[in-house]
Amino acid sequence: MTERDVALTVAGSDSGGGAGVQADLKTMEAHGVFGTSALTSVTAQNTRGVEAIEDVSTDVIAAQIRAVADDFAVGAAKTGMLSSTVIIETVADCLAPREFPLVVDPVMVAQSGDRLLAEEAETVLQEKLLPQATLVTPNLPEAAVLTDMAVEDEDDMRAAAAEIAADGPDGVLVTGGHLHEDELVDVLSADGETRTFRKPRRDTADTHGSGCTISASIAAELAGGATVPAAVERAETFIDRAVRYGLAVGNGAGPVNHLAGLYNDAARAGALAEVRDLVDALETHDVAALVPEVGLNVAIATPYAMDADDVAAIDGRLHRTTDGVVAADCPRLGASDHVARLLLAAREHDSALRAAANVRLDDAVAAAVTQHFDAVEVDRTAEPDAVGEERADDSAAWAVERAMAGRETVPTAVFDRGALGWEAMCRLFARSPATLQERLLALAGTV
């Protein structure tokens, strides 16, 4: 028999599957938690909007909560859409005797500023439900309503989080939404401390259900025994990947990808195997002409990669020896710094890219890639000065960004002639390990 942690969502249904109870259950399952539910409203909606709403009777809402809580060992719960005063009162009364942690997503105000609840319902939410909460997750407009203050910058977010926390809930996570153009900022006030979480803003419209998803992620983590700060930190990572790889389904704003992390974990072993196969081919064939002084490396990203730990490469790179080209060690996730970051930077422009390699550059290689590949030369001497690890990180991103100037697609090859302290280098990209292998062997045969 397999035991599972259990979480409960008390929220509305989204017939489009991207938000509400549907999003919550997918998120809980993605965390390895068994999700249960109590429906508060049924909506007819899709990626373009909401067409109809019908509330569930309060007797049935209460019966659902009792049925779940009396039978399952619920480790945590969350609330979402509670559309009326009587529904809020019913849910608050049903959850009050329960001892499990509670995450309240106060669906009061849309990011557009439109009020979603009547004023009397907002008052009941504040007075009856929020004081029961382990964590409340308001967006900027909701934080403004809850504090009766303008919330327009990070200092305001911290002040609002502290004020809301002082009124009853154990913790508050104010989600930044549209605060900045280039990054998302969330502020957590919990356990007497304030933390700020920053994520890059993703260039996507497929963010439907993101608010439901992060609160459900936190609830799932709490159900597994995590502290509030740890649960929020993991949820921030979870939602970043879910938004980064949002789903373009329907004709409007698509949903976030609740299962991207699961798919990514499942692909890790495959990425390692793909590196091993590619290295076997390079060691078998004569590719010594492609090995730079620093060594050659090949990097394979998982389909939903977010950082270098999601990229498989050779630990120690491949080097020329008297016996040919030999890998210094085995493939490992996170083994590469520069080539992995290079690939990740390219994937920001084309998430279908999965493979990259760095090869030696001389006149013959430059002529070959220019003739046979979609190649772009960049000027290394124009690179901003940096030092240490920061220098390596900036170098990878800088080469890609410079190559993308005026382009819509990532080049097959990006090369530079080097500079003081930098070896001349060529970088190859491909959408599959097989294509990268084909390009490497063809290039080796040409030069």
Q: CA 26 → CA 9, 23, 259, 288, 353, distances in Å?
A: 11, 5, 7, 49, 27
What stretches in the chain show pLDDT beneath 70? Answer: 1, 110-116, 382-395
CATH 3.40.1190.20, the chain: domain bounds: 6-258
Q: CA 58 → CA 25, 26, 38, distances in Å?
A: 22, 25, 11
Cα gap 355→431, rounded to integer Å: 6
Question: Has domain 268-446 been given CATH number 3.40.225.10?
Answer: yes
Report the pLDDT value the prediction gives residue 377, as an integer from 0 to 100: 94
Identify the CATH assignment for 6-258 out of 3.90.79.10, 3.40.1190.20, 3.90.550.10, 3.30.70.1230.
3.40.1190.20
Cα gap 166→436, rounded to integer Å: 57
Angle at 421 between CA 416 and CA 427, to 5 degrees: 30
Instruction: List strand residue ranges (DSSP E) for 100-228, in order.
Output: 102-104, 135-136, 171-175, 183-190, 193-200
Count of Cβ atoms closer than 10 Å to residue 326 Cβ: 13
Report pTM: 0.91
SS3 59: helix
For residue 17 the two structure tokens come to: 């599957």
DSSP structural state of residue 294: T
Count of Cβ atoms closer than 10 Å to residue 418 Cβ: 13
The H-or-E segment that residue 331 falls in is strand 331-333
Report the pLDDT value the prediction gives residue 383, as an integer from 0 to 100: 62
Q: CA 53 → CA 43, 81, 87, distances in Å?
A: 4, 11, 14
CATH 3.40.225.10, the chain: domain bounds: 268-446
